[in-house]
Amino acid sequence: MKENIREILGLPITTLYDYWTHYWRSLISQLQSKSNIDVALDSPRYVLEDIILEIKGNRLKNQDNAKYFLFRLSEFDKNDRAFTGLCHPIISTILASQLSEQSCEIVLNLCNKALDILDNSSYHDSLLEELARILNSDTGLTSENKSSLIYVTKLIVSEFIAKGYELEDIDSLPLAVPNVFLGCGGTVLHVPNEYKGMNINDFESEELYHEAVSDYIQHRSIKEKLESLYEHFHRTEEDAIALMRLSNIKGDINVQIGDVCIYSPRSRKYISDKDSLSKIEEVDPEYKYLNAAVPIKHLAFNSSKNRSKEKLLKILDFINLGLNKKNPVGIMQNEFVLIKEGKEIGQSTCMEGNDPRYADRQPDFSYLESFDAEQSKADLEWIASHFVSFDMNKNIQIQNSMHWLYKANQSEKNEDILLFSWFSLESLLKIDDASRQMIVIKGKNLKGVLSVIQEIVCYIMLKHTFHNKIWDVYEKQIYFYKNHDNYYDVPENIAHSAAIDLEEGEKYRIKDFFEHLNVLLHSLNDEIEKDKLKEVYEFYSGIDSINKYFDSLKNDLLMIYRLRNLMVHNAMIQSIGLDNYAKKINYIACVVLRHFLTYFKNHPKSTIFDFMVETVASGKVFMDNYEYELKKKFGKL
């Protein structure tokens, strides 16, 4: 790797602070990846919110859920020093209740009290103090320090999400410097004329002033480096308005639905600043565009963007229900503008989505085919006067599995993605009760829908992960070695032994890669990548890691099924962990459906029951002979 690139990337990692900033970015990247379901966030707040939801929706009648909540809460009470210091007396009482049905009201009261303590910011500040303590450790990059950093970082990120930040906004927080705009490699591009006791007038040039500021930034204490996290977390929300253009609708109208305004720029303007760069309210003589103005509480740009889109989509659901048109009214992706008191404070522009200006490229969504709102003013007025937020639940059957997965993939709201993905899975694996009882599940005499789905899905995902996990990292190492100038600085002899220096057309040697994986990971210049490869290596270490994966996935499905039931029976829910569970079940549904289709291609006369029996039988054979499977895949171990 070239020296200037290494410097920009902050490599090699030599300090705890460097490790932490790299891990933070890596964590956010993994959380954003749709195909990475192994990394998830959890926190005391998430558990408390889950318990409250369970009490309100199911009165703690499901003891499997209760046991899992108790386990999670107990782990945080033992390991999260910040949480224990603030809430231990309350949590010990909740744990003593065993979350029995008789304890609902007391537990609900205690959970709300604990959340009140977390909400007053003292918990987040305590986490940052714990982070500073670890970063100031004089023992360096030890495994214990790294584990502690990973643990507390996940909790801090969880709190930022609970505060209302999106991952895109959280990503750069560790490297951000309040009031200073930095370029690549930490170069100061803009800073106020007065900063930290320095004044630009005391320097011979702006360049020297920027160098002095840069020197200060590089030599800050750990507490000063964490200043951005403090500042962003204690930031208060501001009133703002998000402007978005609508698709499949046109006209010259002005309709208020709830607090959202559907309007034509011909008759109304929200941007009063003449210096605005946005074109969203520019009047076109040929086209009668319609915009939506959505009032929101603004915290950060991406958070406001996603929050306002979710709010508008709920309005559009109701509009589309009332209008019942072939092409539903939607949101164009070409422009989003955020304004405060008439002034633009942020915007994003892209040429994706259904832009009527490009009707010849998108005939199905052309301007001419857009619904003319002026012809249905009465309908829109009725919608406006009867607007309420609601969800529609639909009956499903087995043949609709691909339909539901398609709907999930087209959805933008996390609750829709989770629900439709689960519908796809549930419809695919739906059999009558008599057949369900014939599926052999260890420790289960009476098999419900969930227990059968857990068994089938876990076996499918276990074998899928077993066969693909090693290939994913192998291909990545080849790519970065060959295409990125040996990005991780792997010595030539190790690269050759691990078979990542393959020439074009040369066959992959997965057995050689795995045999030398432990040596390879210790040669990398990136501590984060080392940890990722170590996790992969340990995954294939023996049956214990496989059992752990199996049990973890069963617990995830338990929580997803719980959320599914809350949505179906209570119409709408709000859960902090919904994003991760939606991504996970969507990925799982896709893998299971593909596995299902492959099986039926090879066994066209088989039934779904045959498919399920085959899955369980082959899964048990796989686990009972795991050492043999390892040898078959990697050779001699």
pLDDT of 353 above 50: no
On whether both 189 and 139 belong to a single domain, the answer is yes
Q: What is the percentage of the chain residues whose pLDDT exceeds 90?
A: 58
- Whole-number Cα distances in Å, 82 to 107, 125, 235: 21, 9, 21
Query: Across the strands, what pairs with 205?
Result: none
Q: CA 617 to CA 24: how far, in whole Å?
A: 41
Distance, first Cα to last Cα, the chain: 33
pLDDT of 382 above 90: no
Query: Across the strands, what pairs with 295?
Result: 241
pLDDT at 368: 62
The residue-averaged pLDDT of 344-361 equals 56
Task: Please state, rounded to an integer, the average pLDDT across all residues of the chain.
Answer: 87
Q: pLDDT tens, 310-322?
A: 889 888 877 876 6
Q: Where residue 150 falls among pLDDT bands split at 50, 70, 90?
A: very high
pLDDT at 520: 96
Mapping DSSP to helix (H, G, I), strand (E, B) and coil, where does residue 300 land?
Answer: coil
On whether both 524 and 497 belong to a single domain, the answer is yes
Q: pLDDT tens, 54-67?
A: 998 889 999 999 99
- Whole-number Cα distances in Å, 466 to 106, 597, 623, 635: 44, 20, 11, 15
On whether both 214 and 247 belong to a single domain, the answer is no
Q: CA 131 to CA 212: how far, in whole Å?
A: 28
Q: Where residue 179 falls among pLDDT bands split at 50, 70, 90?
A: confident
Q: Is 285 domain-assigned?
A: yes
Q: Cis check for the bond before 12: say yes or no (omega within 30 of 0).
A: yes
pLDDT of 257 above 70: yes
pLDDT of 388 above 60: no
Q: CA 248 to CA 22: how far, in whole Å?
A: 44
pLDDT at 359: 35
Q: Where residue 394 falls among pLDDT bands split at 50, 70, 90?
A: very low
Q: Is 398 domain-assigned?
A: no
On whether both 243 and 153 belong to a single domain, the answer is no
Per the structure, the count of domains in the chain is 4
pLDDT at 10: 72
Lowest mean pLDDT among 190-204, 337-351, 575-589: 337-351
Q: CA 147 to CA 149: how far, in whole Å?
A: 5
On whether both 452 and 589 belong to a single domain, the answer is yes
pLDDT of 69 above 60: yes
Question: Structural domain of residue 454, as residue ranges?
Answer: 416-624
pLDDT of 514 above 90: yes
pLDDT at 504: 84
Q: pLDDT tens, 129-148?
A: 999 999 998 888 999 999 99
User: In this structure, what DSSP letter does residue 580 have?
Assistant: H
On whether both 461 and 602 belong to a single domain, the answer is yes
Q: Is 370 domain-assigned?
A: yes
On whether both 306 and 423 belong to a single domain, the answer is no
Q: Where residue 362 falls among pLDDT bands split at 50, 70, 90?
A: very low
pLDDT at 149: 96
| Structural domain ending residue among the three candidates 233, 259, 279 | 233
Best CA proximity match to 454, nearest among 550, 364, 359? 550
Q: Is 302 domain-assigned?
A: yes
Count Cα atoms within 13 angstroms, Cβ side, for 86: 22
Q: Where residue 441 falls among pLDDT bands split at 50, 70, 90?
A: confident
Q: Where are the alpha helices (DSSP H) in 137-256?
A: 143-163, 167-170, 206-218, 222-225, 227-233
Q: Does residue 374 or residue 358 have the better pLDDT?
A: 374
Lowest mean pLDDT among 285-294, 369-378, 408-417, 491-500: 369-378
Q: Is 287 domain-assigned?
A: yes
Q: Is 404 domain-assigned?
A: no
The token pair at 420 is 């439709």
SS3 content of the chain, % helix, strand, coil (to 5): 60, 10, 30
The residue-averaged pLDDT of 31-56 equals 92
The token pair at 352 is 């994706």
Check the CA dihedral 79-82-83-87 and report its sign.
positive
On whether both 522 and 610 belong to a single domain, the answer is yes
Best CA proximity match to 599, nearest among 574, 115, 34, 591? 591
pLDDT at 595: 87
On whether both 107 and 142 belong to a single domain, the answer is no
Q: Where residue 178 falls among pLDDT bands split at 50, 70, 90?
A: confident
Q: Is 633 domain-assigned?
A: no
Q: Which DSSP helix (H) or strand (E) runs through 466?
A: helix 449-483
The residue-averaged pLDDT of 110-128 equals 92
On whether both 254 and 316 belong to a single domain, the answer is yes
Q: pLDDT tens, 445-482?
A: 778 889 999 999 999 999 999 999 999 999 999 999 98
pLDDT at 392: 33
Q: Where are the alpha helices (DSSP H) in 527-607?
A: 527-539, 543-570, 578-602
pLDDT of 8 above 50: yes
Q: With contact defined as beta carbons under 8 Å apart, do 259 and 226 qualify?
A: no
Q: Where residue 324 falls among pLDDT bands split at 50, 70, 90?
A: low
On whether both 242 and 181 belong to a single domain, the answer is no
pLDDT of 169 above 60: yes
Q: Is 10 domain-assigned?
A: yes
Residue type, 325: K
pLDDT of 433 above 80: yes
Q: With contact defined as beta carbons under 8 Å apart, do 523 and 494 qualify?
A: yes
Q: Which DSSP helix (H) or strand (E) runs through 337?
A: strand 330-340
On whether both 433 and 567 belong to a single domain, the answer is yes
| Structural domain ending residue among the three candidates 179, 214, 233 | 233
| Structural domain ending residue among the three candidates 100, 120, 140 | 120
